[in-house]
Amino acid sequence: MFSEKDLLQIRKKGITTDLIDKQLSCFSKGFSPLNIDRPATSGDGIIQLDKAMVSKLAKEYDKVRPGLHVTKFVPASGAATRMFKDLFAWREALAAGTGVGELLKKEDAAAVFFSRLRDFAFWEDLSLAMFREDLDADHMLADRNFLPLLDFILFDYGLDYAALPKGLLAFHRYDGHSRTPFEEHLVEAALYASGKDGKAGVHFTVSPDHLGKFKALLRKVSAKYIEDLKTGIEVDFSLQKPTTDTIAVDMENRPFRDLDGSLLFRPGGHGALIENLNDLESDLVFIKNIDNVVPDHLREETIIYKKALGGMLAGLQEKTYHWLKLLDSGEAGQNPYEKAVSFCCTELNMDRRAFPADAEDGIPVLKQMLDRPIRICGMVRNQGEPGGGPFWVKDPRTGQHSLQIVESSQVNMDDPAQASAFRQSTHFNPVDLVCATKNYRGESFDLRQFVDPETGFISEKSKDGRRLKALELPGLWNGAMANWISLFVEVPLITFNPVKVVNDLLRKEHQQAMSK
């Protein structure tokens, strides 16, 4: 199937032919949908914390974090192109001769965007970019000459926002300056991610095309934030590894070839970042998306809940370590075994059917079940946002139930019962995780060993006008963490403020930045 030229291309990516064969097999056999038993709800898989407990857990986290190496992990590689899809559509309509009045009448979003263009944090940068070309943004806006404004926002002779990652866009306006999501994550990390070395650790995964721009911004602002926040900030970056790219196929499941005859490989999706996460040496890792940030005046509730989740994780990890040490000592008889199983079922949401009744048979199983990475996932009440949510999923091999974050693409929506169960979800996954990735001996887990390889996804794309199939790896917080110990905790909606389209920046949560 593969020529010598193909084999050389495969070797250069660091991929084996065995892995290629497995990927091709995935296209042929497909992926079985998950079997949802029921949504996780408050009291049934989702923990609710009252204010007193949140405060208590946050204080416990502050007590233990000076002894921990803490890192905030921020996936930040995606370009902002989709954020500006409406702007591209408006530009195309205007360039084709659509009148401004017709555009504003037809598109509610366009009317809002242009009527409030000065309210965006990037307005000053836009005005300056146009001024350098002897153009007046205010006059353009007043005269409803929208096409040049759009061009200077989108393209490289202006702000070049369509080509930049979200992390480098001006999101929030403060007195005299604006902040990007990259900067807001630095500020947030300083408030809860400083550990044993006194520095706040932040790790961004970025694309090779944008790495230089992120580093340049860091050089420009790091001294200011270290001085303002009175906290050291240690920032590092990583790239998605070429070894996580997946081969593409044509509609007959044959390797897809570029016009020059070479094999086509595509990025494996955010699930590939399990490799980047695996390279960290931290005791505690907070994970949060690049676009989920708030200005200073809304940060307090976000911070206390981050700390509360960290305190809960530290406490559960301590209990887990206690049982593992006892089991390793060889002193665990039937009574300690039963107590340990009870802990697993009542506090870690494990299925009782996983554990044999007899301690002699059960202790190896118990050790395996406890000796895994742990994650606590914040969940918000479902407000109709697209994306995955928390569910109890049934393993078809064992019949056991486990808590999983499930995307709609993982569910057979043609099955009325499964579709109904998915729609009954009460909570949404905002990607708000805190993770413990070391065992009780202080050794880092190999996180790749806890991925469910059967939870990938096949999508249809096109290249040079030709249809193809692409393989996405198990998602970072879905199948890539399917075999972790997982707990779900309800967090307030105010902690979830994503920016999916440009007009989301006009929401009050992103507009009311305080003076700094």
Q: Which of 465, 514, 477 is nearest to 184 (CA)?
A: 514
pLDDT tens-digit profile of 72-111?
A: 999 998 888 889 999 999 999 999 999 999 988 877 899 9
For the chain, what is the total number of helices (H) and then of strands (E)? Answer: 17, 19
Q: Which of 215, 157, 153, 230 is nearest to 182 (CA)?
A: 215
The pLDDT value recorded for residue 386 is 64
* CA angle (425, 428, 430) in 5-degree steps: 170
Let me know: does 188 contact 432? Beta carbons within 8 Å.
no
Residues in CB range of 197: below 8 A, 6 or more apart = 69, 232, 234
Q: Which one-letter DSSP state was computed for residue 169?
A: S
Q: Which of 100, 241, 229, 121 is nearest to 169 (CA)?
A: 121
Question: Could you tell me the CA-to-CA distances from 214 to 20, 164, 167, 170 in Å, in that order?
Answer: 33, 10, 8, 13
Let me know: does 185 contact 293? Beta carbons within 8 Å.
yes
Q: Where are the domains of the chain?
A: 32-69+268-516, 86-154
Task: Report the Cα–Cα distance between both ends of the chain, in Å, rounded.
Answer: 62
C-alpha Rg value of the chain to the nearest Å: 25
- Identity at 359, one-letter amino acid code: A
Quote helix, strand, coil % in the chain, to nearest 5. 45, 20, 35
Q: Which of 398, 404, 489, 484 is nearest to 446 (CA)?
A: 484
Residue 143 CA, chain-centre distance (Å), reads 41
The pLDDT value recorded for residue 427 is 94
Let me know: does 169 contact 293? Beta carbons within 8 Å.
no
What is the rounded distance in angstroms from the CA atom of residue 89 to the CA atom of residue 100? 13
At 344, list the tokens: 């697993």
Let me know: does 183 contact 51? Beta carbons within 8 Å.
no
Kindly give the pairing relationship between strand 199-206 and strand 70-75. Answer: parallel
The parts of the chain modelled with pLDDT lower than 70 are 332-333, 385-386, 512-516
Please write down the HEC assignment for all residues of 345-371: HHHCCCCHHHCCCCHHHHHHHHHHHHC
What is the rounded distance in angstroms from the CA atom of residue 80 to the CA atom of residue 321? 42
Let me know: does 377 contact 405? Beta carbons within 8 Å.
yes
What is the rounded distance in angstroms from the CA atom of residue 39 to the CA atom of residue 422? 7
Question: Could you give the angle at which helices 123-131 and 146-154 cross, rounded to 10 degrees?
Answer: 100
What is the rounded distance in angstroms from the CA atom of residue 218 to the CA atom of residue 205? 14
Q: Which one-letter DSSP state was computed for residue 134?
A: T
Let me know: does 450 contact 484? Beta carbons within 8 Å.
yes
